Structure 1
Amino acid sequence: MDSSCFLVYRIFRFRKRNKNISSSLSSSSPPSSLSQNWLHPVFLSFRGEDVRKGLLSHIQKEFQRNGITPFIDNEMKRGGSIGPELLQAIRGSKIAIILLSRNYGSSKWCLDELVEIMKCREELGQTVMTVFYDVDPSDVRKQKGDFGKVFKKTCVGRPEEMVQRWKQALTSAANILGEDSRNWENEADMIIKISKDVSDVLSFTPSKDFDEFVGIEAHTTEITSLLQLDLEEVRMIGIWGPAGIGKTTISRVLYNKLFHQFQLGAIIDNIKVRYPRPCHDEYSAKLQLQKELLSQMINQKDMVVPHLGVAQERLKDKKVLLVLDDVDGLVQLDAMAKDVQWFGLGSRIIVVTQDLKLLKAHGIKYIYKVDFPTSDEALEIFCMYAFGEKSPKVGFEQIARTVTTLAGKLPLGLRVMGSYLRRMSKQEWAKSIPRLRTSLDDDIESVLKFSYNSLAEQEKDLFLHITCFFRRERIETLEVFLAKKSVDVRQGLQILADKSLLSLNLGNIEMHNLLVQLGLDIVRKQSIHKPGKRQFLVDTEDICEVLTDDTGTRTLIGIDLELSGVIEGVINISERAFERMCNLQFLRFHHPYGDRCHDILYLPQGLSHISRKLRLLHWERYPLTCLPPKFNPEFLVKINMRDSMLEKLWDGNEPIRNLKWMDLSFCVNLKELPDFSTATNLQELRLINCLSLVELPSSIGNVTNLLELDLIDCSSLVKLPSSIGNLTNLKKLFLNRCSSLVKLPSSFGNVTSLKELNLSGCSSLLEIPSSIGNIVNLKKLYADGCSSLVQLPSSIGNNTNLKELHLLNCSSLMECPSSMLNLTRLEDLNLSGCLSLVKLPSIGNVINLQSLYLSDCSSLMELPFTIENATNLDTLYLDGCSNLLELPSSIWNITNLQSLYLNGCSSLKELPSLVENAINLQSLSLMKCSSLVELPSSIWRISNLSYLDVSNCSSLVELNLVSHPVVPDSLILDAGDCESLVQRLDCFFQNPKIVLNFANCFKLNQEARDLIIQTSACRNAILPGEKVPAYFTYRATGDSLTVKLNQKYLLQSLRFKACLLLVEGQNKWPNWGMNLVTSREPDGHIVLYTPSSHLQGPLLMENLYTFEFELVVTSSEFVLEFRADRYKCAVSECGLIQLF
């Protein structure tokens, strides 16, 4: 559901106020902060009585989760003035966060802290963040309202100089754009946002990676001026220049400097590689690019992108900084940044490319050309790599300039040449000059090849292997593939890295595209007109020629064909295509992104031979039922033949002692696996969706080094061999949806290293063997949807390291063994949908349990009284437990309980009293509890309660609010469709974040309705009504009204409350959204206004919608027009009142 509504008016300022605090960070962090050594990451200044038990504790918890340790002066003895220890703590903190609350000004201690913080901001470059907690920033700035009253009391009897310092500090702090808790529907979301901002600042340290990049400051200054960060528009800019000139480095430096000013950010690099052209399945490739973008942007690895509209939906209201690096096609931009409207206001998209026409074709107007460095800058760049400093060593001045001139001004070429000559003597430099003069001029490739030519033969060979075949592999994987070569891979990689021919990063090999192109060109020139005589083949046309014309030779050691590059027709491979490739070691026919498109490779006459020296066989959609009869897999390290027509790999028993990885997933005709007797080094075996596979060979027990076995969707698999118990090193076993599997062998308990077992969807599984209790390292057990499973073995209690136990929708499961109380490390227990489950065992010893899911356990009648001992439980789901008669009174003793869901518990008549003991309860959902008559009065004493849903509780008569004049702050109360609710609401709603839904509560008395309408603190509400009340100063029939104000309010920020009565428009849509327009002037500005999602839903007749908004008034008379055209509903009546 799209819950966005839009508020449009002349002045833009309201939208800007709701921006994140990051726009203030750069201004509060002058350059002096860059060299500061900080003792603490964060200092928190707060008034304890306002925030210690609520906001502060939640901030601490979120900080702890993100590895942030703030300094909090809880243990310091407070006296007349702050002491040297606290002064040191303030001055030694990189970030100071000021929690400005109602009573902050009542503490001299807090005010003195504030003065010191603002001083550190000015003098030390300390980053200062502000949080306005239930207080108006304007009240703090001007020391007025309730905040001002408290502050004035503190000032009584104080020296005027001290008072002035306090006032100045308060004004300065209030001028820092910070988080205003009144603008957040959910306090938890605000805290997460604060934590992210803090993490971003702490992560932002001037990167030493770019210190050696000469002239970087000039580049970033020019580009920043193009970005125009002070404008609220969405802007795309281009960075353009030749390969190797430093575009990527510049964009990374720029991102590193600016990302903390945005809500979200990402750098998508090597796009040219991620989206090769031509591409057979353009749509799938676009989806993959968009998935990569969103995964990085919102930090969610398992992001699902079903269609190309997802990015726009997820990012349209987010201020983002996005760098798209190495773009070479419009389709790539279409996938990730097709239009500026995809992104929220203030977003900046930076496109890095070598193609100027591409930028213009995409409509990008602002383009920065990266020029070649000057002669002096080129010398500095060269010297940084040759000498480690920006100028030549004594005696090298002239020869350094000579080499720089010969190498050209391309930064990459200068870096490679400098790295090559580093640590050489002057005499060695002199010997290199003649070769430089003869082999180099301004040609980039020649510069790079000069460094390549200086390598020993082994390093040259390693370089070509990487550029042609392994540039995306990890170091340890490369070592395995090249193990039989007489080369020290790690030593060779270090040599290549030292010469700037590649870089090593966290175990990954990274190489500049220009260097990749160099390697490919070197191989191409080995035999320009006869590609079959080269070492490697990667070009689609060359591979097609060799395979169809049978022109391969013994020189070939690797073929890498990306099948998406075959645009037209198919490739008919000759029966003897591989016969003369007797030294072929690496063969890869693959689809990018796992694309399972139509068949392209055909073997119309079969295949007679494949090299016995193969170490990698990656042939997706292999068209035959078996490999050639003479194939010998003796040297095979990895075999990947996903989605093939295979029925078996080969006949007989073949030695596979070198095999480490096997993937035969989606081979739906596969009936037989090879003999694994010699596969003692196999680590991963993937057989996903092998629908015809009935059993595993008993020889699987010989694979003693197997770490992961994946049998997902092997729906014909009936059993596992008893030899499975020999897999003592197995860590992960996936049997998801093996729907024919009836049982596991008793020897299964010998798999003692197993950490994760997934049996979800094994609908025929009758039991789990008791020997599972022997698997003491098991941490995750998933058995969701095991509908035939009647019970768990009592030995499950021996799995004391178990952290997650999921039995969702095990509809035959009647009880859980009492031994479960021994699972003291269990954190997540899911029994939802266990329709036959009658009771739970005592779980009193499961002290680490955090989440308990019992939704739709329709036979469950009670919970164990000992549930109170699960002291770390924070989430309890009991939705749909229709036979649950009562809750144990002890449930409120779970002091960490934050969320309790009882939706649809139709037999539940009352809640236990003493609810106030659940001091951390934030969310209580009782929707459709049709037998519930009243709420316990103590529920309103839970100060942290932020969400209470009693909607559709048809028997509910009493909320018991009368004896509680003040409801919890920030409450969202949803009582919609409580048709029996009749009582008065003698209470006050003091917090503007309160949201009230009394939709269709037609028995609600008039006093209650008036209270909801007239309370100035209720920002959003729905209540019964057939016309706009007279309380609203301005009222009109239809969708517009004229507002006339006193001249004294001009250029002031004012708050208004609106009231609407909606009716159906031309089309009936399930939900509604709104635009509010000041139509007097043509240049009004759009400002995002988002009412509570709890008030979004089907259009309700005979109900009033009220909400508040703020705007800066620039005219004493203007027209407000209310439009609800997004979902085609209409405004029948409207009203407006100014709030004071």
Structure 2
Amino acid sequence: MASSSSCIKRYHVFPSFHGPDVRRGFLSHLRHQFASKGITTFKDHEIERGHTIGPELVQAIRESRVSVILLSKNYASSSWCLDELVEILNCKKASGQIVMTIFYQVDPSDVRKQTGDFGIAFKKTCEKKSEEDKKRWMEALAYVANIAGEHSLNWTDEAAMVEKFASDVSNKLNITLSRDFDEIVGLQPHLRKLITLLCFERDEAKMIGIWGPAGIGKSTIARALFNHLSSDFRLRCFMGNLKGSYKSIMGVDDYDSKLGLQNQLLSKLLNQRDVRVDHLGAVKEWLHDQRVLIILDDVNDLEELDVLVRELSWFGLGSRIIVTTEDKKILKAHGIQDVYHVGFPSSEEALEILCLSAFKQRYVQDDFENVANRVASLCGRLPLGLCVVGSSLRGESKEEWELQLSRIENNLDRKIEDILRVGYDRLSKKDKALFLHIACIFINRSVDDVTSMLADSNMDVKNGLKTLAIKSLVQIHNFFPPHITMHSLLQLLGRQVVHEQSNELGKRQFLVEAEEIRHVLANETGTGSVIGISFDTYMMGEFSISGRAFEGMRNLRFLKIYNSDYWNLKGKNVRLRIAEGMEYLPHLRLLHWDSYPRKRLPPTFQPQCLVELCMKFSNLEKLWGGIQPLANLKTLNLSFSSRLKEIPNLSGATNLETLSLLSCSSLVELPSSIRNLHKLEKLNMMGCKKLRVIPTNINLASLEEVNMYGCSRLRTFPDISRNISYLDVMNTKIEDVPASVAERWLRLEEFHIGSKYLKSSTHVPECVRYLYLSNIDIKKIPDCVIRLRRLHSLDIKKCRKLVSLQGLPPSLFNVDVDDCVSLKSVCFSFYKPKSAYITLDDCKCVKSEKDAIRVSSLFHNPVRGIRLFNCFSLEEEARRVIIQQCDYQNVCLPSKEIPPDFTHRAKGNSISIISSGTFSASSRFKACLLLPPDEYTGRTVCRLISKGVVINELEFYSFHHTLLSEHLLVFSGALFKEHICCELDATTSEIRFEFNCNYIIECGVQMLADEGEIKLASSFHDPNREVRFLNCMKLDEEARRAIVQRWAYKYVCFPGKEIPAEFTHRATGNSVTIAKGTLSASTSFRACILLSPNLQHLAVFGYTIACRLRSKGVLINELECYLDYPLLTEHLLVFRGALFKERRCIEVDSDIHFELSCDEEHYKIIECGIQIMAEEGESSSRKRKKQSDGDVKVSKDKNVFKTNTHTCWSNGLKKLVGLRKKKNKRE
């Protein structure tokens, strides 16, 4: 039997009282106050009272959160009341139930000692009772009399006492209810984001949606949110499990069903059973002037929303309505713009959920780590699956866990299936078919691939995918191209549906289980019902099939034979052998056969329907002879077919888009028929070591990507398209880049060129953004590189004669100069230093200031990271400067010990810091790891945890590098991420630092002192300065006015919700046109943008906002602002500049069109405004200097980093201290 602590709590309050004393007066008033606060009270009207309390009453006590004992004069006259009291105190002892007392017209001393009128009643009750009963009651009364409570004799206003007591109970309940969610992993971040989305700073009514797949935890999150918010709303209700509620009411018509729904809502909100609803305007009539909180859970029908919450005008100001659903389309159709998507928990959180369910603790039991991780992986991080499976394995041995793994892998638990199946059952017939195709064949395929594969079916694939996505049955990931994924448990559901089609394996639509496929092929039992086979041979031994194995499957369209153990796919690992004379089916649209065993395809092979042919690691020497009908073929992949000697004539493949011949090491030439592939987009011939010949004098207009890396015998530059955006010809015998490349290749963005044979690298198009010049015999940076104004990333590894990096373009974000062993002189100047990353691994001549590497100038500029692996000549002073004085997110350099400044230390990979007070939002730190010599690959994470919540996380990446001695890895950052709530830091006194690296010798932490206030004064009158107050939420109105009106700057960005009044030319959206009559060539302007972020998709990488001015369609000026921090609320961005970039423009003879843009799709420009300034000559400059300056003081909770052109505060929850005006001395 479950203990009382685990009982479902049905009631908020259980009242214990003597009816004749209080029922009709005091108790009725108390119950009314409870009801007004949404507190449910147990009522005993229907329980027959006897001499002893019955099991119903005992159960009611245990199912209540709080027991309220009303001790009145005659309370002890009832053995029933005394037994209730004993049971309540037993429950308090067993489960910690809260007990509250009211002494109603009785003295607590009389209760404690059983004296006075109370004692007389007690003695009478004890007559004919056993000494044991008497003792129990006396102990209980003595105990309860010592519980502090309300004394009616101390109050002159009974109504005020009742109201105060009800409020006290409500407060207690808020604390206890919050404990219900203490063990919900990852709940707090969800609540923080939802509260932000609800915008409580605004008075209008607001409606939001919570959307996600079944079993993700939407209802749990909604209930926790309801609990968190309910005390702020007098009228609130949670309507759960709405799924088609009004349609499920039998025996009534549609209108009556809708009235019934409105009746339910109003009854819950008003806490009245007799609410009369006789028309569908009742909700508006009752609630139009009431502030309400309504949560509608698990909605799957748009009509339910129309009935219950059709319009926000139905509800009073400040109302909040929250709708949870699996179907995003419902939210969109109802006009709900703000939708919170509940994503899957992280792998760490998923394991924690499993452990709480299986072990009743947050961590894995000893020896269970591997099997627990496998179970969590099989559940696909779905909270429902983790909880159900964890509960089923609770208390089982490790051996039993292992036995259950195969069952979990192939079968859905019934509880999980019942929940997931609801969404599938509601699909149309065509959408069900699409769901099954994806679950069985097309997991992790692109949308375009699936659309092409199913083009000849009667399915509307694009709309079907949209339907599946908005119903959370698939996910469409916005990679390039967009890809389809499906949760592993939904895949199991799809396969289970297929299993139910027939008991005979060969009569099912899809075959996906390896043993079942082997049985069908070996016994030749396949039928025309089979349209798809997905056969993973990884766990199969070798076996053979006859040429008739596929004969009965005349409708087979998708055949996929693969090995999930990808790196063991060499031809020697052939597992499936086929007999001669095998017949291939003419309807195949997908043929994917890894390690195909034969030298060529059968002569009877008919590829006319093929959309994709993929035969990696095959034994093929040749596909087929002659010209085949290949009009449907879009992808041909023969990668790693090391025996392939020739490519067939592809003249008929007029729709081919991808040709992949990666590591076809016997291939000598690319056939001339490639000139017919006018839709070819990608050509991959990486590692074709014998390739010598490629066609020339052709221009494939669609070709965008060409990879010929490692074609070590290739001498001819692949000038086969002018539209290529990606080209890799590294490690070839190409000696020079033709001049035509720099002149005509105007779309080339990423260019990899470098080998010991390259004699010159002078011809690089100016449009290149990513340039790789590794292993080239150069001493300095080539002039053609210096001229690249758009260059983002430069990789010049292993240029062993390179001495200097002088002249690098300032547009760079990443510079990688690994293993340039002669490098001595380094000088960087970045436009956007905070985003730059510098790598100088194995540059053994890099030393210090004495040796021409200027540590102060190189590293004092703020950068994202610095890597100095194996730079052993770096002197001690240089290391100290880098670690202690540089502004970076991470740095790695050689060192034998942790510096003494890191006063908090520990062996291993974690350390806890305890503060004597509390940590503030402005607290910063540096964390240092001492790493042993070893090979390092992947991601090292510094994770900060407080009260079980991850409050910040910093990352360092290293892609397979060997440290030749001990190194220090140093992280630097703020304790709290910008979106962590201020409530957390107000109470945080201990923070744990964890590092996901097991080979750490020692770790240390240095807490950085808060630097007080930042004073912004007249130094900001610099038209080239960039000023950012990102997420400085408490910047007051006077300070914002000073920033906009008094300072000169290139741009300034700060929180704001409306365009200032002085920007008189304004428009909704992102463009404004100003008539020519108001302008001259010397006119300057300010442009203001109101920018709104989508809080569901905070920008992870940097983004650029641009202001472009056009006259007669010609660009006359362009200003840009680069931001590398996410915005957490609306911000104003103000540009300042001249109309014309070139001052030679002397006449304005047409309108000026201002265009504002942001390259981050989740940030929306709401409104823009333009202010035309006075003409700027020398006099206006003097005039500006005469203006009084404003000193703005800002509480500093993140390092302000300064260069000659940049000042930035970029963290949440900044505090403006004040604005102080100084009088100009001339005045």
TM-score (norm 1): 0.42
User: 1 or 2, which has the higher strand percentage?
Assistant: 2
Greater RCO, 1 or 2 (C-alpha within 8 Å, sep 6+): 1
